[in-house]
Amino acid sequence: MGDTKPAGTRKVLEQSVEYLVPGMELASDVCSADNSSMLASAGTIVNNDLIKKFENWEIAKVDIVAEITENPIVDPKVQKFLNQYNQSVTVMQKAFDDIRQTQDVPVEEFTETADGIVDNVSDSMNIIDKIYDLPVCDDYTFRHSVNVSAISALIATWLKFPAENVSAIALAGLLHDVGKSQLPPALLNKPYKLPPAEYAIYQTHTKLGYELANKKHTIARSVLYAILEHHERMDGSGYPVQLCAPDIHPYAKIIAVADMFDESLTINCDTPGAVSPYLSLDKLREEIGCLDAKACITFRENMMNFLSGNRVMLTNKQAGRVVFLNKDKPSRSMVQMDDGTVLDLSKMNDVCIHYVIK
């Protein structure tokens, strides 16, 4: 029989024995069909011998524990981060409005906001996915800036950057799209792909942001480079000047990963209010040739810890829960449907995870 460990406050799923894998934890006792024999107790960690035992006893289904170890609603660290997050979005909205009118970047407000994000992200490494559970807002520009700041700070922390560098990267994340304050709001809020002429105008936001921030002598050159270069790509396919890998600032490389991940979720998602970190992580893997590989892989590997157990909608309009993660292609993970059947999406060419059900 497998080892046992204490069960916490976690979600319980009914799992077909056919799809049991070593490492899953039983949520309740398993007895023979006639209840004459105890086959395994709650808390037992499944191994191959135990799976064979269930098959020999013709056990069809068992209850397992989803790997979710704490309730984010009552976790004070999560609540503290979300309070800071909401405050940061409010500060960003006011700052962008002011910059539109004055062309002056309020450095102190941005710096204080970045420091607050870093302090709370460092204390709550597992809450980045919770920001996407918040209510939909009308203008994602402000929330996107805060998201990129928080995600960039996390990536820098995971990459073992010193604390001072993490703070600078978080500030660069907040400021990376400051140039958009000089573009027409109607252009920024269009829900569809921009035609070439308008996209060319959109691309100017990197230089506009650099020029705005460069007026403030207290903003470090490293932060300025990150603002200017966050759309440059390792293969020279980016903008504004088609830099290649050796010439792109390290901060810009980190922000590029955070920016691409968040854009797929909050700006380019085709279902209002819906997000799919699974598809977004797929995209990062597909684009790894033009992104910094170390930053991209580090982010993907750490994000995998947050994706199991989510209730999701598939592209065929069926709902289920992710029970086993496909780390190569997260949108093709194993999903347990409401009737108990488990779909291995890696073997289905026409179905994948569409978005997370909130």
Q: Can you spell out the DSSP letters for 307-341? A: TTT-EEEETTS-EEEEEE--SS-GGG-EEEETTS-
Bridge partners (DSSP) of residue 334 are 324, 344
Q: Which amino acid is at 324?
A: F
| Per-residue confidence band for 358, with pLDDT thresholds at 50, 70 and 90 | confident
Phi, psi of 82 (to 5 degrees): -65, -35
Alpha-carbon distance 213 to 12, whole Å? 51
Mean pLDDT highest for which of 121-125, 268-272, 307-311?
A: 307-311
- Mean pLDDT of all residues in 11-21: 77
Q: Which residues contact 198 (CB under 8 A, 6 or more apart)?
A: 187, 190
Q: Is the pLDDT of residue 86 over 90?
A: no
Q: Is the pLDDT of residue 193 over 70?
A: yes
Q: Which of 86-90, 156-160, 306-310 has the lowest mean pLDDT?
A: 306-310
Q: Pairing state of beta strands 334-337 and 61-65?
A: unpaired
Q: Is the pLDDT of residue 2 over 60?
A: no
Q: Which residues contact 217 (CB under 8 A, 6 or more apart)?
A: none
Q: For the whole model, what pTM was predicted?
A: 0.77
Q: Is the pLDDT of residue 267 over 60?
A: no
Q: Is the pLDDT of residue 107 over 60?
A: yes
* Helix (H) / strand (E) containing 16: strand 12-16
Bridge partners (DSSP) of residue 343 are 335
pLDDT per residue as tens digits for the range 210-245: 999 999 999 999 999 999 999 999 999 999 999 999
The pLDDT, as a whole number, for residue 338 is 85
* Residue 257, number of CB atoms within 10 A of its CB: 27
Q: Which of 93-102, 136-145, 258-267, 345-354 has the lowest mean pLDDT?
A: 136-145
Q: Is the pLDDT of residue 68 over 70?
A: no
Token digits for 56?
Answer: 């020999």
Q: Is the pLDDT of residue 136 over 50?
A: yes
Q: Is the pLDDT of residue 1 over 50?
A: no
The pLDDT, as a whole number, for residue 226 is 97
Q: Which residues contact 160 (CB under 8 A, 6 or more apart)?
A: none
The pLDDT, as a whole number, for residue 138 is 55
Q: Which amino acid is at 337?
A: M
Q: Which of 133-142, 236-245, 279-288 has the lowest mean pLDDT?
A: 133-142
Helix (H/G/I), strand (E/B), else coil: 138: coil
Which among 4, 13, 9 has a CA at the least distance from the CA of 69?
Answer: 9
Work out the angle at residue 298's Cα, subtended by the Cα atoms of residues 293 and 303, and round it to the nearest 5 degrees.
Answer: 130
Q: Is the pLDDT of residue 6 over 50?
A: no
| Per-residue confidence band for 127, with pLDDT thresholds at 50, 70 and 90 | low
- Mean pLDDT of all residues in 88-112: 93
| Per-residue confidence band for 46, with pLDDT thresholds at 50, 70 and 90 | confident
Q: Which amino acid is at 164?
A: E
